[in-house]
Amino acid sequence: MFLILNSCKKEELICSTFGFTKNLIWEDSGCDESFDQSPTGDEFRIQEGNQFMYPAFNPNNPYEFVYYQIAADSGSQIITGHHLMKFNYKTGVKTKLLDNVEITGHPAWNLEGWIAFKTVPSGFFIVKDDGSQLTQFSELSYGNLDNGLTWINGSNTLLWGGGQANGTSFINTKTIGDQDKVQIYSEVAIFDVFMVSPDNILIANNGFTYYTTIDLNLDSLYFKLHQFNHSGSPYGKMNWHVDGRRFYMSFVGSLELAGFFEIDFPSGEVKRIIRFCDKEIIKEAICSPLGDKLILQKIERTLIPGPDPTISIGGFLIENSSLWLYDLDTRKEVKLDLD
């Protein structure tokens, strides 16, 4: 198989601003801004400038994470590159690990310094956290339906899975140096992306009013369904807190229901910690190894109405992806300047 990715022999230093954290200006989280008029639903959805998404923490450094960048000039829709980046929010050091890598879904970083990610249609790759030793790890088992990439408790065993077009689900595990191991379910136990807790409990969003858990400690893997105590629609990726007792996800719907929530496990009780508005929603959040901070992936939205408001044709909805640091103790946030 021809490898289309470019791996630097040495990580490329992009910028360094020591004392970066001290210069951050924290603000209250949430928003209440509305568009001047409601979107029609027929607007052209576009992105302008750099897009920052799919963060994953370094399990050995609570201040460092990787993310995927779709590069573009400010205000431009013309894509100039796709990068796997690394950033330390304490020092401000930013490095480029890989060029020309179109990542689909969330990377995963383990204790041995391996970063795993998925590309379509090539499959799964792993690379060391200095940008070296880029290796194809596995091909896609079921096309684009492979989801939920995660290392089991930071080990060298990678886990992924998802729903299939025929209505079944699967979990695939592979340890570095070994063959893939696939387990198939006869029911749709895993509808969407998932994460594994420190106690080896897999949790998956089914896209409805319930979520699935699977105890990976058992020899036979059985799934359980749990009801959300919330009437909104789950949105984006769910993620565990490092304590394994709670997890985070977003719900959309009316403004009264929409927001970013902390959910108690396994009761399903929900607590909104950030409100959404027309101009800002949260797609996902990841928890730092210390458990005191989250990195939020936000979608910042701007509506440019069409020339004739009486017809539902034309107009633009600009949806830009950005990364924010959120303090779980103070409930304040700050946008990370990654341009």
Reported residue count of the chain is 339
Cis status, amide bond into 198, omega within 30 of 0: no
Q: Is the pLDDT of residue 123 over 50?
A: yes
Q: Is the pLDDT of residue 185 over 60?
A: no
pLDDT given at position 3 = 40
The top-scoring range by mean pLDDT among 39-43, 190-194, 240-244 is 240-244
pLDDT given at position 101 = 92
Q: Is the pLDDT of residue 241 over 60?
A: yes
3 state SS of 333: strand
pTM beyond cutoff 0.75: yes
pLDDT given at position 196 = 84
Supply the mean pLDDT for the chain: 82
CB 141 within 8 A of CB 158: no
Query: Sign of torsion, CA 338 116 80 286?
Result: negative
3 state SS of 82: strand
CB 322 within 8 A of CB 300: yes
pLDDT grade, residue 32 (50/70/90)? confident
- Domain spans, the chain: 6-335
Cis status, amide bond into 309, omega within 30 of 0: no
Q: Position 214: which residue type?
A: I
pLDDT given at position 9 = 43
Mean pLDDT across 4-9: 43
How many angstroms separate the Cα of 75 from the Cα of each of 48, 178, 307, 319, 320? 5, 46, 21, 12, 10
3 state SS of 200: coil
Q: How far apart are CA 180 and CA 132, in angstroms?
A: 23
| 140-184 confidence digits (pLDDT tens) | 655 545 567 888 878 898 888 765 556 566 777 888 888 767 665
pLDDT grade, residue 68 (50/70/90)? very high
CATH of 6-335, picked from 3.50.50.60, 3.30.70.260, 3.10.20.600, 2.120.10.30, is 2.120.10.30
| 75-91 confidence digits (pLDDT tens) | 889 999 999 999 999 99
Task: Tell me what percent of the residues of the chain surpass a pLDDT of 70.
Answer: 81
Q: Report the Cα–Cα distance between both ends of the chain, in Å, rounded.
A: 34
